[in-house]
């Protein structure tokens, strides 16, 4: 016969220990968020994010539902939410490594765009 989880927890842990377990599990859950969950956790609306990103709300919605983003786009989104993006690389044989420079893409000035110059129509040489 199955035993309800709460009954098992009551037998194994005091109410204080159960509360600590809930707090610890909440912290773990909060460390693994999708973009829209990150935005909501920061108490931001899509409209507020759109204003900071200088795009429209529909674009924020599309961005949040994409599975593949440019690092610079993700960095701008995290910045608009009030955070800073850090990319961490993990290898089995060593401690995690934070990549430098890539998370700072949103802070870099955009390169100046080259203006298109109109080319004058070729003139006929006077004969």
Coil, helix or strand at residue 81: coil
By CB atoms closer than 10 A (0-12, 13-18, 19+), residue 76 is: buried
N-terminal to C-terminal alpha carbon distance within the chain: 107
Q: pTM of the entire structure? A: 0.59
What are phi and psi for residue 87, nearest 5 degrees?
A: -100, 130
Report the DSSP beta bridge partners of residue 99.
87
pLDDT along the chain (127 residues), means of 10: 85 92 80 87 95 96 93 94 92 91 58 64 58
The domains of the chain, with CATH numbers, are: 9-107 (1.10.260)
CA angle 60, 48, 38 (to 5 degrees): 65
pLDDT at 111: 60
Separation of CA 123 from chain center: 55
Coil, helix or strand at residue 99: strand
């Amino acid at each position: 016969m199955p035993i309800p989880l709460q009954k098992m927890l009551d037998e194994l842990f005091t109410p204080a220990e159960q509360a600590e377990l809930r707090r610890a599990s909440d912290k773990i859950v909060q460390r693994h968020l999708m973009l829209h969950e990150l935005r909501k956790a920061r108490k931001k609306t899509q409209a507020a994010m759109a204003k900071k990103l200088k795009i429209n709300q529909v674009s924020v919605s599309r961005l949040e539902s994409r599975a593949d983003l440019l690092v610079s786009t993700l960095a701008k989104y995290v910045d608009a939410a009030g955070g800073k993006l850090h990319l961490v690389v993990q290898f089995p044989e060593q401690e995690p490594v934070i990549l430098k420079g890539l998370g700072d893409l949103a802070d870099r000035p955009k390169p100046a765009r080259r203006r298109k110059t109109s080319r004058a129509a070729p003139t006929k040489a006077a004969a």
